[in-house]
Amino acid sequence: MHRCPEHYQPMRILIIKLSSMGDTLHALPTVAALKEHLGAEIDWAVQPGFAPLVRCFAPVERVLLWPRRGSWQVRRQALKELRAERYDLVIDLQGLLKSALVARLARAGRRIGPSFHREGAFLFYDLVAGRRNKQRHAVEECMDVLDLLDMPRPAIPQFPLNLPEIDLAPAPDAVRRVALAPLSRWPSKNWPLTHFAALARRLVGDCGVELHAIGGPDDAAAVEEIAQLAQVPILNHCGSYSLAESGSLLRRMDLLVTNDSGPMHLGAAVGTPCVALFGPTLPDRTGPYGPGHRVLRLDNCPPCRSRDCRRASRICLEDMPPDMVFEAVRKVLAARG
């Protein structure tokens, strides 16, 4: 592995992490450490849908929009903005061919790619940060860049976020707030709505919690179905808040019950304990990062990492009983005092 010289102190850095919500958050501790040790001006290239969140990343000066698709005029404007600055260092933390091409198009002194690169992306880098090791969390993988630049890894990785305030009435005295994030982009990662309803019924009936639901506009109907099945009140915020505002909402929660999804990573980043339900994916790589979380997973189905279950039913999640999740929630709330 090649290393950057110790005297190499870049003053302008471009980070490339085009998507998704979780992936951008996984890169944030590395970028925060770069800012702390180098004092560099840091820009970030990202797809437009995730730009509002990246604009809340405290170490980032400027956000460059790189469209996933669009007309020639849109792409030409994005390229013009990308090449308007010259960077001492471009760091691709996505590791895909599309992100490596963005790195090559940028005007840069050096280009660094991640150890987890694929699709031939390494051909566009000057240096690769570390050796491939997929047996660790994605946050740790991104920090290989710090090793390459002879910088210490932070003892406690930080997620510095400047989030907007939201208007949320205070909870009644001694009432805990629990958020539900019932849907993800992969059908195979979704715990059944009937199970969420059974959990909601017990959380309200046995613990007296105030339930909130978070997600996009398309998730609102599913939350209404959960509330109707459970016959308990759920404050449905799906589609009501931007990505950044959703972070503020989660910061006000005592706990988040979630599938493997973007809200899970956002909740972990703002310090909200998560009870995370895993099926086809690997929690050691993409689980909620940091202390205080509980990850639940059954051993009856090996992680297939497939968007759609290859079996007749999503047995790895359908067999996870609501009582098991309720007990995990109860223990996490008790530990918080």
pLDDT in tens, 113-123: 999 999 999 99
**Cα first-last separation, the chain:** 47
Q: Which of 7-11, 102-106, 215-219, 290-294 has the lowest mean pLDDT?
A: 7-11
Contacts for 271 with CB less than 8 Å, ≥ 6 apart? 251, 290
In the chain, the domains with their CATH numbers are 12-148 (3.40.50.2000), 177-335 (3.40.50.2000)
DSSP assignments along 151-183, one per residue: -PPPSS----B-PPP---PPPPTT--EEEEE--
pLDDT in tens, 256-269: 999 999 999 999 99
| DSSP symbol at 59 | T
For range 7-11, the mean pLDDT: 65
pLDDT in tens, 30-82: 999 999 999 999 999 999 999 999 999 999 999 999 998 877 888 899 999 99
Does residue 312 register a pLDDT over 70?
no
Angle between helices 262-269 and 21-38 (to 10 degrees): 30
Contact 15, 91 (CB under 8 A): yes
pTM, entire model: 0.93
Angle between helices 193-207 and 322-335 (to 10 degrees): 40
**Confidence band for 1, pLDDT divided at 50, 70 and 90:** very low
Distance CA 45, CA 66 (A): 6
